[in-house]
Chain A
Amino acid sequence: MKKRGRGVAWMFYPIGFTAYANPSAAFVKVNQDGSAVVWTGATDVGQGSTTALAQIAADALGIPVELVTMVTSDTLQTPMDIGSVASRVTYIAGNAIVRACEMAKQILFEVASEELGIGPEGLESRNGWIFVRDFPERRVRLAEIARKAEVVKGRPVIGAGSYNPPTTFLDPETGHGKPYNTYVYAAQVAEVEVDTETGEVKVLRIAAVHDCGRAINPLLVEGQIEGGVAMGLGYALSEEMVLQEGRVLNTKLADYLVPTSLDVPPIDVEIVEVPDPTGPFGAKGIGEPSLLPTAPAIVNAIYDAVGVRIRELPATPERILMALREKEKEQPGRSVRDREDGRPEK
């Protein structure tokens, strides 16, 4: 008999290393044509950080993103970033880039203030223009100012910035401290169908609702969440590294089972944007958090469907059948298989 159930799980997750320093640094150069080059050590392994960081640089300088060239992950050329780990790149490398851009923008604004007749603090830049905040029609092309700064004033428009989240170690006596500077939050709901004859679990649908601060690039954020859910689904149901005397026995993708397109159900993603005042334009992170609630939500859904608690992952058909048999032994004659309404005994 096939029985359906739903389960929910929540999580919070910190951005960055636990108390240890994990800095990032960036250089920026604004060219005479109003384009810019950003150097960052942050490494894009496919999550899209180079795109998001280019967007951050563009908004921080006030130029179109098409005019930003990124130079990344080259230990000879780029300043250091500690790595694409701890869901930290958008937050920490992003903050470093904002600071580098602020330094370059200060040079632009000081030069522009002569033309616009107001101090640099009264200026803003957007879409390739520098303008007076209170009188936006009083404006000058950013490229013109960049050229003037470099050629006439002898002040190349460059900037450098770094960021390291302010943290403290936990006090060994009290356990108190501030090991992270910010956190993200999420909830996921899984709907599953459990076959009580075979122990097989089919995930029918997953809803994933995530806070990531400001979503710099919502399409990329969705991609991170969908991929994380698929990874969490594998963790919940099929992926198990089998060790024997220190050797991995299942070293092939034929026996270490990564979810396929037929295993991953439709995923309803919702991004809850709560801008964080400490993040670049309010952004935090989304990499790892996306997969954390998936397995507990699925295991809770299994419990809702057939009334057994699976406490060892993955929840393979064998483990589910064993748990169902244990339950029958404890409650003879009240087998979940006999119930008509599909609701488990609890």
Chain B
Amino acid sequence: MTFHLRFWLNGQEVRTEVEPDETLLWVLRERLNMTGTKVGCEAGDCGACTVLLDGRPVTSCLLLAPKAHGRHVVTIEGLGSPAKLHPLQQAFITYGALQCGFCGPGMLLSAAALLTQNPHPTEREVREAIAGNLCRCTGYQKIVQAILAVSRGEVP
């Protein structure tokens, strides 16, 4: 039994047939070739697969694809473009907030959701917003600094 999935991906309507037990993560990567969303633990612990569902960060590895039906999904491909980076992406580069980069897509989307909801967060609020996104490289400090810089409008 296939499910006729229709949703908005980065602002564009997408229609695809999926198995009802497929996760959004694998639909994005395998059916739609959007590989910016990373496969980490596939248990909802690491946050590498984070996407925005109607503006809220969700772990796409735990979300059955049919649950996205009729809703808006934003992946890292929709946050900025190489020609026009999102301010958070530019700040992550300037502050050296990425090393291996694997946590980056999820980290950036969690940060983007935070700043949409709360444009002027405290450091504590930033740390809470990204607490579901594990980073093994940076110690989080430069990530937190980069997000706070964007919130203060200090993006270079």
A positions within 8 Å CB-CB of B: 45-48, 219-220, 222-223, 226-231, 252-254, 258, 260-262, 264, 266-267
Query: Which of A228, A229, A253, A261 has the largest number of chain B CB atoms within 10 A?
Result: A261
Q: Is the CB of A45 within 8 A of B131?
A: no
A253 CB to closest chain B CB, in angstroms? 4
Number of A-B residue pairs at CB separation under 8 A:
73
CB-CB contacts below 8 Å: B114-156 with A: 126-128, 130-144
- Are A223 and B99 in contact, CB atoms less than 8 angstroms apart? yes
Q: Are B96 and A253 in contact (CB under 8 A)?
A: no
- Given contacts A46-B100, A253-B45, are A227 and B138 in contact (CB under 8 A)? yes
A260 & B99 in contact (Cβ 8 Å cutoff) = no
- Determine if A46 and B99 form an interchain contact, defined as CB atoms under 8 angstroms apart: yes
CA of A303 to CA of B73, assembled, Å: 50
Contact (Cβ within 8 A) A258 B136: yes
Query: Which residues of chain A have C-beta atoms less than 8 A from B134's C-beta?
Result: 253, 258, 260
Interface residue range, chain B: 20 to 34
Residues A226 and B139 in contact in the complex (CB < 8 Å), given A261-B127, A261-B130: yes
> Residues of A contacting B101 with CB < 8 Å?
46
B1 — which chain A residues lie within 8 A by C-beta?
A: none
Q: Which of A223, A253, A258 contacts B142 (CB 8 A)?
A: A223
The answer to whether A227 touches B127 (Cβ under 8 A) is no
User: What residues of chain A lie closer than 8 Å to B140, measured between beta carbons?
Assistant: 226, 230, 260-261, 264
Most central of B41, B99, B130, B143 by chain A CB within 10 Å:
B99
Query: Would you call A227 and B136 a contact (CB within 8 A)?
Result: yes
B43 within 8 A of A: yes
Q: Which residue of A lies closest to B102 (CB)?
A: A46
Which one of B46, B132, B137, B143 contacts A46 once the chains associate, using CB atoms below 8 Å? B137
Which chain B residues border A267 with CB–CB below 8 Å?
139, 141
Pair A252/B131 contact, Cβ less than 8 Å: no
Which among A227, A254, A264, A266 is the interface contact of B99 at CB below 8 angstroms? A227
Residues of the A chain whose Cβ atoms lie less than 8 Å from the Cβ of B135: 230, 261
Residue of A nearest to B43 (CB): A252
Can you name the residue of chain B whose Cβ is closest to the Cβ of A206?
A: B139
**Given A223-B142, A230-B139 in contact, is the A254-B96 Cβ separation under 8 Å?**
no
- Min C-beta distance of B95 to chain A, whole Å: 8
Q: Which of B100, B138, B142, B144 has the most CB of A within 10 A?
A: B138
Q: How far is the CB of B83 from chain A (nearest CB, A)?
A: 19
11 pairs across A/B with beta carbons < 8 Å?
A: A45-B100, A222-B142, A223-B138, A229-B139, A230-B138, A253-B41, A254-B43, A261-B128, A261-B135, A262-B127, A266-B141
Residue in contact with A226 in the complex, picked from B41, B43, B133, B142, CB distance below 8 Å: B142
- Whole-angstrom distance between the alpha carbons of A226 and B146 in the complex? 15
A230 to B135, CA, bound (A): 9
